[in-house]
Amino acid sequence: MSAFLDIAIDDKRHGERAVLRGLRLGVARGEIVSLVGASGCGKSTLLSIVAGLDTGHRGALRLDGRPLVGPSADVGLVFQAPRLFPWLTVAQNIMFGASAGKADLARAAALLEEVGLTGYGDALPKQLSGGQAQWVAIARGLYLEPRVLLLDEPFSAVDAFTRMRLQDLLAAAARQRGLTVLLVTHDIDEALYLSDRVILMDSMPGPVRAEFAVDAPWPRERAALALSPLKPAILDSLHAAHAF
Amino acid sequence: MEQPTIALDVPAPAAPARRRLTAGFPLGLLLPVLALLGVELGVRAGLAPANLMSPPSSVLEALSWLFDNGLGAHVGASALRVASGFAIGALLALGLGALVALNRTAERLFDPSFQALRAIPSLAWVPLLLLWFGIDETPKVILIAIGAFFPVYMGVVAGIRGVDRSLIEVGLLYRLSPLALARRVLLPAAMPSVLTGLRNDLSLAWMFMVAAELIAASRGLGYLLTDGRETGRADIMLAAIVLLALLGKLSDSAMGAVERRTLAWRDSLSERDKR
């Protein structure tokens, strides 16, 4: 039986350079999967392909048995930087993907309330901190109620304390909604804390090198995960995969 | 437990006191006021001939005389020419600039010609415009429109082409049609550049208005300059120059206010200074 999100990329090139080759990845419904690997191994390219922004590849994507071609309302993407539209208010940014006449201010306000940003709907992006802006970007990703949420190093630019808080908010939001999540990260602790499975991608042209199941119940203990034998195992594989 | 305290022998900051002295005094007025005073005293002391360099008091008298003798008609005629030329040039530039920036075929069709036309000094059109349209209002408005066209055109094209690709990707992610992408992402993102073009445009429009009126007009501030030269009235010429400065500053301030209001979302250094 095929997975809920079924990714098969035979070949993806940037010019002459192969970025991804022979990649097979299945993600179950409601599963949170982290992708780790050295910079340039094709993780972000993979997310762009699944989001439908990058189309020049050979291969096939299926979501719930149906072909996934181009951008889809079923798939949300949160970029590394918030990428908020500076001329729109926070609420307008969250509702950006809604077609004309279908924007629901109450739902945007509810998403803001979920993360303690109540009353920020009319604020402009320039009035937000980095962490707040990134949550607004995640809220924009959640607003259309996608079935799959892709996140490309979403917390890499925020301080450690804010990062932990955003990780908790994301975990709660995803588990509550039964979202299927594909998260690209460089932070092994983050991958262990958030995911059901950690996928290690090989150096270019990046197929899957190893998989690690994180079998820990929710709510999770950061300290316990940091001390689990999984962390050194992932780090060892990472070093082996990207040794020059 | 008693906390140890550290006393630092720091002198009181002097900067705020100094700032208080100059705060509220419009420093920018200092040089013009001194210059006017110098001219007034210089002419009165016979250091400069009054028929060539009218003192500010004579210029004020000339302004008052003009005010009673049809100044409104002159200002009105000039302002109307600027407004219509600016509106025609800027509107055409907004439309064509957006088209060229958004459509490859339009770019290949129009842009080379516009770039070639841009290289022609606008005043070079004057004799031809006079030949084609006579000395009526039409050549003046067309000349102002030609001069006003290019700054906005360049601003719109550069603004749209310079839009951050990462924002365009967000638009594509949400499956915006090309038209919606232009309306919701490209044009708002290009607004700073467009408004800079419009503001430059407006000052150029005043410049071209004077050029047009110097050549052939029976009304307007440019006409007052010509008239002043022909009758040897430096005071009239200086009065016209003062009026041009005032009107130019007024329209620029109005455009600046529109710019600040429209671009209140910007997180630039100048916006931060205002907070």
Residues of B in contact with A53 (CB under 8 A): 169, 172-173
Residue B60 lies in a domain: no
What pLDDT band is residue B25 in, cutting at 50, 70 and 90? confident
Q: Which of A44, A85, A138 should one mutate to test binding to chain B, selecting the residue with the greatest count of B CBs within 10 A?
A: A85
- What value does the mean pLDDT take over residues A12-23? 84
- What value does the mean pLDDT take over residues B232-245? 89
* Inter-chain CB proximity B172 and A53 less than 8 Å: yes
Closest CB to A86 among B169, B175, B265: B265
Residue B171 lies in a domain: yes
Residue B190 lies in a domain: yes
Tell me how close the Cα of B266 comes to any Cα of chain A, in angstroms: 7
Residue B42 lies in a domain: no
pLDDT single digits (tens) A50-103: 999 998 889 899 999 999 998 999 999 999 999 999 999 999 999 998 876 777
CB distance A93 to A102 below 8 Å: no
Residues of A in contact with B173 (CB under 8 A): 51-53, 71, 77, 97
* Inter-chain CB proximity A52 and B170 less than 8 Å: no
CB distance A87 to B184 below 8 Å: no
Tell me how close the Cα of B201 comes to any Cα of chain A, in angstroms: 24
Residue B64 lies in a domain: no
Mean pLDDT of chain B: 85
* Inter-chain CB proximity A53 and B265 less than 8 Å: no
CB distance A91 to A122 below 8 Å: yes
* Inter-chain CB proximity A83 and B167 less than 8 Å: yes
Phi, psi of A62, rounded to the nearest 5 degrees = -130, 135
The complex scores an ipTM of 0.90
CB distance B97 to B156 below 8 Å: yes
Run of H or E including B142: helix B137-161
Residue B83 lies in a domain: yes
Residue B2 predicted with pLDDT over 80: no
CB distance A153 to A184 below 8 Å: yes
Residue B1 lies in a domain: no
Question: Angle B236-B240-B245 (CA atoms, 0-180°, nearest 5)?
Answer: 145
Q: Where is pLDDT greater, at B4 or A28?
A: A28
Residue B226 lies in a domain: no
Domain count along chain B: 1
- Could you tell me the two tokens for B124? 């070079």
Give residue B144's pLDDT: 92
Give residue B8's pLDDT: 46
* Inter-chain CB proximity A71 and B191 less than 8 Å: no
What CATH number has the domain bearing residue B194?
Answer: 1.10.3720.10
Q: Which of A49, A94, A96 should one mutate to test binding to chain B, selecting the residue with the greatest count of B CBs within 10 A?
A: A96
DSSP per-residue letters across B170-205: HHHHTT--HHHHIIIIIHHHHHHHHHHHHHHHHHHH
- Residue A63 pairs with which residues in a beta bridge? A5, A66
A211 contact partners, CB below 8 Å, separation of at least 6: A197, A198, A199, A200
Give residue B1's pLDDT: 45
Residues of B within an 8 Å Cβ radius of A: 166-167, 169-170, 172-175, 184-185, 188-189, 191, 264-267, 271
Mean pLDDT of chain A: 88
The whole domain housing B156 covers 78-221
Percent of chain B with pLDDT over 70: 89
Amino acid A34 reads S
Separation between Cα atoms, residue A13 and residue A19, nearest integer Å: 5
Residues of A in contact with B273 (CB under 8 A): none
Residue B271, CA distances (Å) to A84, A155, A220, B251 in order: 18, 28, 44, 21
Residues of A in contact with B266 (CB under 8 A): 86, 126
Give residue A126's pLDDT: 94
